[in-house]
Amino acid sequence: MNFQKERSERIAQIEEIIKTYLPPEEGFQKTVLEAMNYSVLAGGKRLRPMLMQETFRLFGGRGGAIEPFMAAIEMIHTYSLVHDDLPAMDDDEYRRGKKTTHAVYGEAMGILAGDGLLNLAFETACKSFPGEDQEMTDAERAAQFARTAKALEILGEKAGVYGMIGGQTADVEAVDKQITPELLDFIFRLKTAALIEASMMIGAVLAGASSEEQELIRQVAEKVGIAFQIRDDVLDVTATTEVLGKPVHSDERNNKPTYVTMNGLEKSVADVDLLSREAMEKLSALDRRNPFLEELLLSLIAREN
């Protein structure tokens, strides 16, 4: 397997799936629709939908029920960036080398486009419910509804105040402050790991994984998510702007406490390694394998940008 080539192909496939759920840019509300599409199509690694799809495959999932959720998680990730870039938040003019949404469409449209994407995420996820015309027994129908409902609940919980928004809140308040290791761990688990957990858990749930398997996958995702965020802090110190595609040393400039400032570079790098090994060990406890997923998880943790 040529991992990089396969990954690029899958990104292209995922972008096609996401596009089918984006709104046409027409009507009196055209501006917000343009701003939403601009935000989602500004690039990115499509990591969360990819993790979702590969976990779905790991558990033998088939059919299109996963696709609305793949689009939904990317919409939620995108809205969080749009709102995070606003002047009252991180005040960023560029992301991935492109103007941020509010820098192009104005601050009011930045707010509304973020709201629009968050709302559209739930609208889109609802498209995964079985249609009235799908032929199945009442028991199958009830089971499929229950799985989609469970996936929606996970999406809501991990994106909300006990997930990403909660982490964002603590992160915003941590600027210019001395923080404890417990608080930094909280921020990493909620701000970054929660959406990774949601991605992988929803893949598992929609493929029919057992509760035990769902919990194991959650733990794998949590470790990967925390390692991913520590790696982010490391790259902010060690990478160049060219390789990273965004300004380096931004944490220092914004007076944000990071894993590196609290633990030093050496321990940070070692902890990324430790967490990733723990995650892979957990994953290998399953009696199923998805080699692409394994390579993907390792690549996230070893990434250079």
255 near its own copies, judged by CB under 8 A = no
The answer to whether the beta carbons of residues 203 and 53 sit under 8 Å apart is: yes
72 near its own copies, judged by CB under 8 A = no
Two tokens, residue 199: 């991605």
Stretch near its own copies under the rule CB under 8 A, chosen from 133-141, 213-221, 234-242, 279-287: 133-141
DSSP state of 189: I
116 near its own copies, judged by CB under 8 A = yes
Among 12, 142, 270, 302, interactor with its own copies by CB under 8 A = 142
The answer to whether the beta carbons of residues 171 and 189 sit under 8 Å apart is: no
Two tokens, residue 87: 């002047």
Minimum Å gap between C-beta 279 and its own copies is 24
Minimum Å gap between C-beta 290 and its own copies is 29
68 near its own copies, judged by CB under 8 A = no
Segment 159 to 178, residues that bind its own copies, using CB under 8 A: 159-162, 165-170, 172-173
**Rounded distance, CA 102 to CA 223, Å?**
33
111 near its own copies, judged by CB under 8 A = yes
23 near its own copies, judged by CB under 8 A = yes
Q: Using CB atoms within 10 A of its CB, is residue 115 exposed (0-12), middle (13-18) or buried (19+)? A: middle
**Kind and range of the H or E element at 276?**
helix 265-284
**Rounded distance, CA 201 to CA 214, Å?**
6
How many residues are there in the chain? 305
Q: Which parts of this chain interact with its own copies (CB under 8 A)? A: 23, 27-29, 31-33, 36, 79, 83, 86-89, 106-112, 114-116, 118-120, 122-123, 126, 129, 132, 137-139, 141-142, 145-146, 148-149, 152-153, 156-157, 159-162, 165-170, 172-173, 183, 186-187, 190
